[in-house]
Structure formats: C-alpha cells, structure tokens
Structure 1
Amino acid sequence: MARNNREILTGGKKYIQKKIRKNGVEEVVFDKGSRQEYLTGFHKRKLQRQKKAQETIKEQERLARIEERRKIREERQKDMEKQLAELKENAKIIGAGGYESEEDLGANDEDGEDWQGFEDKEEEVETKEEDKNKGILKRKEVYKLDEDIRSDLPAVVDEETTVVVESLENPAVTRIQNTNLEALARSNNVNLEKSDEILEESITRAKNYAVLAGVAKPPAKEKQKKKKFRYLSKAERRENNRKAKDKKRDRK
C-alpha cells in the first residue's frame, strides 16, 4: 500500500529524532571561570615558559660539562698510555744496547783518577774571580782570650769567640755594571728612566689579555653612588626657565 506525503514527512521527522537520540550531541557548557583564567593568565604562562626554558638551558649546560670532563679524562688516559709506551720502548732500547763491561768501567775510573792536574788551579782562579766581584768574602774569625785577662775578669767569659763576616757587593764592580747597562741601553735606543712605566703597562696589558682569554676574573669595579632624585622647587624651576630663555636669546 502506498504511503501519502504526510506519512512520508512524518517518518522523516521520526527518523531524525531517532538518530539524534542514538548519536546524541554533547551539551556545550560555557565556563566563566575558565574564560577568566585564560584571559588573565598570559603573564603567568609567559613566566612559566621562561622558567621551563631556563631549566632546559641549565640541564644542557650540566650535560655539556659532563661531556667535557669525560673528554678530558680520555685525553689524560691517552697521554698516560703514550708516556708508558715511550718509557717501555726506551727501557727496551737501553736493555738492548747494554753497558760497558766492568773492566772497561774500572779502567775509565782509574784513568780519571790518575789525571788531576789542573783542578786546583782552576778552583783557585774561580775563587779569585768571585773574590774580585764580591769584594769582601764571607769568612769566620775566631778570637781567643788570654788566660791572664780572663782570670782578672769578674764574669764568666768563653775562651773562644767566633765572628762570621758576611759578604758584600763591591761598589766599584756594581758601578761598572750599571755603566755598562746604561751604555748598552743607549746603544739600543732604550730609555731606562721609563722602564718602570713600560713594565706597568706590560703588566696591565697582560692582565687585560688574561681577562679576555677567560683565565682571570675582571677586577671588581666600585659602584658609583646614584644621585638621589629630588623634585625642584617652584623657585628653582623659575630660575632654570629664565636661564634657558637667556641662552635662547643669546643664540639669536
């Protein structure tokens, strides 16, 4: 039996209602609290992102330091192994080369003991040269007290007194050395009077280079005291305005 239009349209409506009941649409609930939190939480979320980024950077730096220490340990281990290998190789070479026989060594020692011709003279010459340079030698002098004088003294006095004379530089030799130094500096166009200044500049330059290279820390600078802000009074403002007008008038 054929259905009329009314039944067909009514059936479509029922079909739609049945489909809605089967696949129900979730109700959209508008939460004012969530909206308020989103609109007012931009700065808070920005700080959270910054904090998270800082933590990530710190973790990366920590891992980089660990990796650097590991590389340094490996390099030291390689250097140690290389040195040990070189020592072993040198020991093998020495063992393979061998030493002279004991008889040869004894003969060499005897030859060395037989010839002692110029040693004393050379030592005397060196001693005389040192005496000339130093001027006064370091020596010990022992003074003995006569028994007759000692018996007359009321106090207890030692029989011997030792006096040590320290060595001093010969002023004549020092003067000659200074003269030679001045002549040498003059021949090389060097001004000895500015030596301290040049030394200070060199030290300052070395310190700055050490700071740039990261070896040393920069010197702590004294913080300048901030000038406290103060509002001008009415009279001071009037005076400043008058001075500004006078300057403007003078320019014209």
Structure 2
Amino acid sequence: MARPNREILTGGKKYAQKKKQTNRVEEVVFDKDSRVEYLTGFHKRKLQRKKKAQEYNQEQERQARLEERKRIREERQQQVQKRLRELNESLKLQVSSESEESESESEEEEQWSGFKESQETDAEPREKKGILKQTFNADDDDAPVPGVTTVTVESIDNPNQVDLMELARKNHVDLDKSQQVLGQSIERAKKYARLVGADQKPKPRKKKFRYLSKVERKINSIKERRK
C-alpha cells in the first residue's frame, strides 16, 4: 500500500523530534562566578587588549630600530671600503712617483763628482768653535785696594754647535725637500684620520620627548594666568 503524501512530508519532522528527544539536555547549570567575571570584566579585557597592542607596537619599533642600525652599519662598511680603495690608489701613485724620483736621484748621484769646495775647505785648518773668553785688565788709582783688576767675559754660545747644512751635504741629504716630505706626511695623517672617522664631529643628541607631570602642568597654567 502506498504511503500518503502527508506521511511522506511529515516524516522528516517526526525524525527530528525523535532525535531531539534522544539528545535532550537534562539540566542547564550556570556558573555564577564566571558569569559575574564576564559581566564585570569588560574594562579588564579592554586594558588587556590595550596592553597587548602596546607590546606589539613596541616590538615593531624595536625591529625597525634593528633594521635601521643594520642599514647604517652596512653603509659605514661600504664607506670604509671605498676610502680604503681610494687610499690604496693614492699610495700606489705616491710610491710610483717616489720610485721615479729615486731613479732620477740615483742617476744624478752617478754623475756627481763630489763636493770640491768642501774637500778644499776640509784640508785647511779650521778653527774650532768653543767658549769665547775675553779678558779685561783695569788699573784704578782711586780703588781701595791697589793693583790690577782682571775681568773675564765668557759667551753663552753652545760649544757643541754643528752646521746642519754642511752635515746634510756630507750625508747626501737634500734639505730643500724637507717641506715636501712634511706635507706628504701631514696629508697621509689627514687621510688616515678621515678613514678612521676621527675628524667627524660628534652628532648632537636628540632631546627625548617627555610628558609634563601634573604638578608641572599646574605650575605652567598658573604662570599663564599671571601673564
């Protein structure tokens, strides 16, 4: 026998009712403490969310600072490498120029026949520089003690004084290039100081922003009112 349409259409409803009766909860129990905590904890949860957001922002700022320091460190390393390359190139040029000068000087030394004037002067007897003494005798008839008074005057010149020009000429040293050598040394010292960073002026520290306290705000407001 065929099932009527009503039974077919209401079959699902009956199945749902039977299933609901089998899975019915016998009793619903509410936890009063958790309910009170939920109802009264809106401000607490709001503060927790705010604190978590602050921690997240602080972590992001810390990561940004680390990235900035890393970038600055890499830029400084690149600058140091660039300065080293420039310094090496300048040193190579100086070495090549010095080698050319030494070659030219060696050629001049091969053609040099000696200091004739100095040899001739060395052959002649030379007076040695020493302490100059001058003696004066004074005879005064009106002096309380009769006799001759002797006064010896000595100069304060250095007895061991040496002629630097003559000494340099004997040792084949050209004093005319002393200023050039001094200038090259100063230039190298400046480049090294620039490379190390000793010539850079220290950067001024940024003033840290600070909120005024309640007392300070009150004092400022009183001052503004008095004006």
Would you say same fold, with TM above 0.5?
Answer: no
More helix as a share of residues: 1
The structure whose RCO (Cα within 8 Å, separation 6+) is larger is: 2
TM-score by length of 2: 0.39
